[in-house]
A and B are shown apart, each in its own frame.
Chain A
Amino acid sequence: MAVATPAAPGISVERPTFEIVPRKGLPIVALVLIGVVVAIARDSRWGLVFCHIVGGGLWTGIDLFVGFVIGPIIGRMSIPARIEFSTRFMPKMLLIMPTIVTMTLAAGFQLARQDAFLDTSNPRHAWVVASFFVVGVMATIALAYLEPANVAVLFELRKAQPDGRVIEKLMKRFVYTAGITGVMQVVTLIIMTRLVS
């Protein structure tokens, strides 16, 4: 997930009021996570495939679309427009991304178990381990580097006088990692299609 925000120090533009974590979205997140737990507990093949395909498709699609389409567009917007977009967009991403990532990984692990891909003697085991590695790289970048920046930007935007330099510094993280995330997502697509073909 990548967005660009203001660059000028000491921003004083109109900003919409916003919640850092949109509370209205929490019941939907809870519902999705309960659905994943139920699919795992019932060993429901359709439920697990649904969670993995829907979650994985959204995760890859959002990452690539935001990183390579939305991000550069926001970068060229005026500062007030960037602020308005970011204050509406980033809180939603804070709920959406961890939810679809958890949904995809939890369901995917169960599918790998059901299909015996976790068995070290399975000829496709190496592909699963490769996907673990790719997910590990993406998770480390997302959780240790991008998510803290996302939350910090939202706290900065809530200040009466947000510091543009702080926001610019934090948002550069998204630019630096967009390429790595993009490559990892394409590798994920290759691994997943190889696994099931």
Chain B
Amino acid sequence: MVAVAGGVIYMASYLPKHAPLWAALVLLAVAVGLQLANALLLWRIENFAWARFFQVWRWSLLAYALIAGMIEFAFLYDHTRGTALVLLTLLLALFMLNVPVLIAFTVARFQATD
């Protein structure tokens, strides 16, 4: 979340001009790495309330897809194009995927296992 928020803030603070991309790329790489590690650690958990996890994850994903969609709309409306748009979209996609996992995990860890 910190890497995603940092990346979006960094890119957005330069709009409508293009930011130097290396810092955003580093933050994106860190966010992707952490997200994958997150998924791996989650997958390795035994005795977990997966049914509850996926129930909460689905609905949270829907809510955050809407929020990320609105932010993406604002960037498109402001004529953000090219590499900057690709990076912002990827960062938003990570945001959209990350928050539901955090919510679903926090709920499921206190529920009875499947």
A76 interface contact, C-beta 8 A:
no
A5-61 contacts to B, CB under 8 A, are 21, 33, 36-37, 40-41
Give B17-44 as 1s and 0s: 1 = Cβ < 8 Å from A's Cβ atoms.
Answer: 1000000000000000000000000000
Say whether B74 contacts A144, CB under 8 Å.
no
Chain B residues in 8 Å Cβ range of A119: 17
Say whether B103 contacts A151, CB under 8 Å.
yes
B63 interface contact, C-beta 8 A:
yes
Interface size class of B (residues with CB under 8 A): 35 or more
For the complex, what is the distance from the CA of A142 to the CA of B102, rounded to whole Å? 11
For the complex, what is the distance from the CA of A90 to the CA of B109, rounded to whole Å? 20
Chain A residues in 8 Å Cβ range of B63: 98
For the complex, what is the distance from the CA of A33 to the CA of B68, rounded to whole Å? 12
Of all chain A residues, the one with the shortest Cβ separation from B109 is: A152
With A140-B1, A152-B107, A155-B107: A33-B66 Cβ-Cβ less than 8 Å: yes
Chain B residues in 8 Å Cβ range of A136: 5-6, 8-9
Say whether B67 contacts A102, CB under 8 Å.
yes
Q: Which of A40, A41, A133, A151 has the most CB of B within 10 A?
A: A151
With A113-B15, A120-B14: A132-B106 Cβ-Cβ less than 8 Å: no
Of all chain A residues, the one with the shortest Cβ separation from B52 is: A155
Q: How far is the CB of B96 from chain A (nearest CB, A)?
A: 11
Of all chain B residues, the one with the shortest Cβ separation from A102 is: B67
Say whether A144 contacts B1, CB under 8 Å.
yes
Say whether B106 contacts A37, CB under 8 Å.
no
8 Å CB contact of A132 from B13, B52, B59, B60:
B13
A3 interface contact, C-beta 8 A:
no
Closest 3 pairs (CB-CB, A-B): A148-B106, A136-B5, A144-B1
A binding-site residues for B, Cβ under 8 Å: 21, 33, 36-37, 40-41, 98, 102, 105-106, 109-110, 113, 118-120, 125, 128-129, 132-133, 135-136, 139-140, 143-144, 147-149, 151-152, 155-156, 163, 166, 170
23 CB < 8 A contacts A-B: A21-B59, A33-B70, A36-B70, A40-B74, A102-B70, A106-B70, A118-B12, A118-B13, A118-B16, A120-B13, A120-B14, A120-B17, A136-B9, A139-B5, A140-B1, A147-B99, A148-B102, A151-B56, A151-B103, A152-B106, A152-B109, A155-B111, A166-B110
